[in-house]
């Protein structure tokens, strides 16, 4: 039987999707090139036909994750069947689901040793998502939910508050700090948007409580088992053996 040859882009994405599943299960540092090709059932030479190193796979995975988030924002902000807060509820719920699916990679990017990756992801994501969020803020102003003369700047500030306070929780995970940061972020965002107090309280209901929250914070403190973002680069040809 003749083996079906896949298009180059499809094959590259197959490597990326396989690597993502392994990174989530084992951690980036503990996943080798051998693990990736073994899971796919292909020769190691095929990996190096498409990639120079494991870091190249990570770079393409980052592009993929950013594209998913941008597409989510664009799709929901463009819907005509939802009001402003309906869109925000859906956005925040589905964005949380994306983070949960990539929990270990999210913690990897928040690791202090990987701050260069985190900064790059944040900058690119904010640049690409701001137009959609600004349109949503404008809709909120037209509906009387928000009160701001600066929709684009409000969108930028929204991302800034979420990023800064969220990143600190990843660095110092504990229940009291987490709850305080969530309360503070929602309060500040409401003030930025000119929204009534309590407008974003729905988000609190999405947060786990009790043992579930403590377990989640404990996992955050483990940093996904990764200590550095520099493993598996050009050394992938030997480290993967």
**Domains of the chain: residue spans and CATH:** 52-239 (1.10.357)
Compute φ and ψ for 112, nearest 5 degrees: -55, -35
Per cent of the chain over pLDDT 90 is 47
What are the phi and psi torsion angles at 174 (to 5°)?
Answer: -155, 155
Segment 185-207, tens digit of pLDDT: 999 999 999 999 999 998 887 77
Query: Structure tokens of 184?
Result: 């503070």
Please name the residue that has the structure tokens 């600066």.
150
Give the tens place of pLDDT for each residue, 14-72. 999 999 999 988 888 889 999 999 999 999 999 999 999 999 999 999 998 889 889 99
C-alpha torsion sign, points 157, 202, 70, 101? positive
Rounded distance between C-alpha atoms, residue 11 and residue 1, angstroms: 20
Q: How far apart are CA 60 and CA 65, in angstroms?
A: 9
pLDDT in tens, 129-179: 999 999 999 999 999 999 999 999 999 999 999 887 766 666 666 777 778
**pLDDT confidence band for 238 (50 / 70 / 90):** very low
- Asked whether 204 and 180 are in contact (CB, 8 A), the reply is no
Average pLDDT, the chain: 83
């Amino acid at each position: 039987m003749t083996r079906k040859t896949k298009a180059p882009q499809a094959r590259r994405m197959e490597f990326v999707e396989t690597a993502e599943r392994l990174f989530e299960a084992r951690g980036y540092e503990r996943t080798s090139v051998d693990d990736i090709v073994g899971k796919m059932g292909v020769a190691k030479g095929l990996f190096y036909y498409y990639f120079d190193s494991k870091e190249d796979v990570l770079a393409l995975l980052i592009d993929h994750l950013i594209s998913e988030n941008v597409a989510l924002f664009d799709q929901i902000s463009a819907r005509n069947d939802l009001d402003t807060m309906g869109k925000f509820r859906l956005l925040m719920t589905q964005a949380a689901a994306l983070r949960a699916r990539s929990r270990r990679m999210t913690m990897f990017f928040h690791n202090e040793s990987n701050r260069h990756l985190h900064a790059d992801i944040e900058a690119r994501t904010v640049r690409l998502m701001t137009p959609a969020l600004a349109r949503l803020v404008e809709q909120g102003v037209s509906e009387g939910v928000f009160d701001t003369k600066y929709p684009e700047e409000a969108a930028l500030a929204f991302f800034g508050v979420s990023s800064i306070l969220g990143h600190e929780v990843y660095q110092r995970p504990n229940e009291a700090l987490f709850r305080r940061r969530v309360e503070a972020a929602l309060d500040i965002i409401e003030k930025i948007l000119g929204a009534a107090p309590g407008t974003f309280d729905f988000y609190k209901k999405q947060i786990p409580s009790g043992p579930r929250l403590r377990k989640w914070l404990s996992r955050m403190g483990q940093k996904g088992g990764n200590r550095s973002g520099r493993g598996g680069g050009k050394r992938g040809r030997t480290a993967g053996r």
